[in-house]
Amino acid sequence: MSATDIPENAPEHCPGPTTEQAGTASACQGCPNQNVCATAPKGPDPDLPFIKERMDSVKHKILILSGKGGVGKSTFTSQLGFALANDENIQVGIMDVDVCGPSIPKIMGLEGEQIHQSLSGWSAVYVQDNLGVMSIGFMLSNPDDAIIWRGPKKNGLIKQFLKDVDWGDLDFMLVDTPPGTSDEHLSIIQYLKESGIDGAVIITTPQEVALQDVRKEIDFCRKVKIPIIGVVENMSGFVCPKCKGESVIFSPTTGGAKKMAEDVKIPFLGSIPLDPRIGKACDTGVSFLDEYSDSPACKAYLDIITEIKSSLTTQGNF
């Protein structure tokens, strides 16, 4: 109900589109949005208190974001999940809100699993005792089915993931998102506003075409007031397995993520090299960090994860 909710083309004395008078006040006469406002549900979202109640048992909520697709958001989310859950006293949940292109089930080796329903709600699918996952991928009768949904249906599902899933007590909830700055992003932030989001980890690749979209995502985080934990540069550099010669696949002609992070004054968390084994581990649904624990990419991952943990500590709420 902030001033920003008022559309640009509204009359001067607009009562606000979510108020009781919306669409019926005298100022609304002749406004192009009158009909929409008069019929839209009024007042605060009645589901928000339920979401808050569920989320009270979740200590840290972290969003994994990027303006650009295919940069490794889901890969990073899953590896972060695996790494955090290595400590069996830490409870981790992963929520995949990429409704049209869910990758988390495959990457975590849970393809074909189904969600179970109990009295306390939907139960997440567990990789191990302390690592639960929720994704629309578990709800499709055929994995190839297209989810042809417009915004409102996607928002409805995201709300259900927060409200109806029996997450239990969690130390970390990692939210994997689709690329962009649209319905899914606005909704998850709106629904979690009251419970609080620790921050967003932003993933990018080094080339300017990707950075361009990522700068938009950073602008988005600032607009909606989500703290940024830092930026991770993925797929930066490739070491040939045969000759060990290094090549640049996606050239950082504008200085890459590090320079961008400096420019917009957010922490740079580190770079992860392109290792074909990461993709292979994702395709087969195993933890890359466990399978190839001596690789440079694994070290890079672990360093970044340490950075993220310590950033949460310095915020004083770890």
Q: If we measure between CA atoms, which residue out of 193, 222, 198, 192 comes closest to residue 61?
A: 198
Position of tokens 């495959």?
A: 106
Angstrom distance (rounded) from CA 283 to CA 271: 22
Q: With respect to other proteins, which residue has the nearer C-beta, 75 or 130?
A: 75
Angstrom distance (rounded) from CA 73 to CA 102: 11
Give the other-Cβ count within 10 Å of 109's Cβ: 15
Q: How far is the CB of 30 from other proteins (least distance, A)?
A: 20
Give the other-Cβ count within 10 Å of 181's Cβ: 18
Q: If we measure between CA atoms, which residue out of 68, 67, 64, 72 comes closest to residue 216?
A: 67
Q: Which stretch binds other proteins (CB under 8 A): 52-60, 86-94, 233-241, 286-294?
A: 233-241
Is 14 known as a binding-site position? yes
Q: How far is the CB of 210 from other proteins (least distance, A)?
A: 7
Tokens of 154: 């996607």
What is the DSSP pairing of strand 121-123 with strand 125-128? unpaired
How many alpha carbons lie under 13 Å from residue 314 in its C-beta half-sphere?
A: 7
Q: Is 250 a binder of other proteins (CB under 8 A)?
A: yes
Q: Which stretch binds other proteins (CB under 8 A): 11-19, 24-32, 46-54, 207-215?
A: 207-215
Is 231 known as a binding-site position? no
Taking CB under 8 A as the criterion, the residue among 46, 112, 276, 316 binding other proteins is 276
Q: Is 181 a binder of other proteins (CB under 8 A)?
A: yes
Q: How far is the CB of 155 from other proteins (least distance, A)?
A: 8
Q: With respect to other proteins, which residue has the nearer C-beta, 1 or 209?
A: 209
Is 209 known as a binding-site position? no
Q: With respect to other proteins, which residue has the nearer C-beta, 13 or 244?
A: 244
The pattern of x and - marking residues 94 through 123 that bind other proteins according to CB under 8 A reads -----xxx-x--xx----------------
Q: With respect to other proteins, which residue has the nearer C-beta, 101 or 168?
A: 101
Angstrom distance (rounded) from CA 268 to CA 45: 36
Taking CB under 8 A as the criterion, the residue among 69, 156, 196, 296 binding other proteins is 69
The pattern of x and - marking residues 182 through 201 that bind other proteins according to CB under 8 A reads xx-xx---------------
Q: Is 143 a binder of other proteins (CB under 8 A)?
A: yes
Q: Is 280 a binder of other proteins (CB under 8 A)?
A: yes
Q: Is 209 a binder of other proteins (CB under 8 A)?
A: yes
Q: CA triplet 166, 287, 317: central angle to 5 degrees?
A: 55
Q: Which residues contact 177 (CB under 8 A, 6 or more apart)?
A: 63, 64, 65, 66, 73, 97, 98, 184, 185, 188
Q: With respect to other proteins, which residue has the nearer C-beta, 90 or 110?
A: 110
Binding site for other proteins (CB under 8 A): 67-71, 74, 99-101, 103, 106-107, 143-152, 154, 178-183, 185-186, 205, 207-210, 212-213, 215-220, 223-224, 238, 240-243, 245, 247-251, 253-254, 274, 276, 279-280, 282-283
Which parts are annotated binding residues? 14, 28, 31, 37, 67-74, 240, 243
Which parts are annotated binding residues for ATP? 67-74
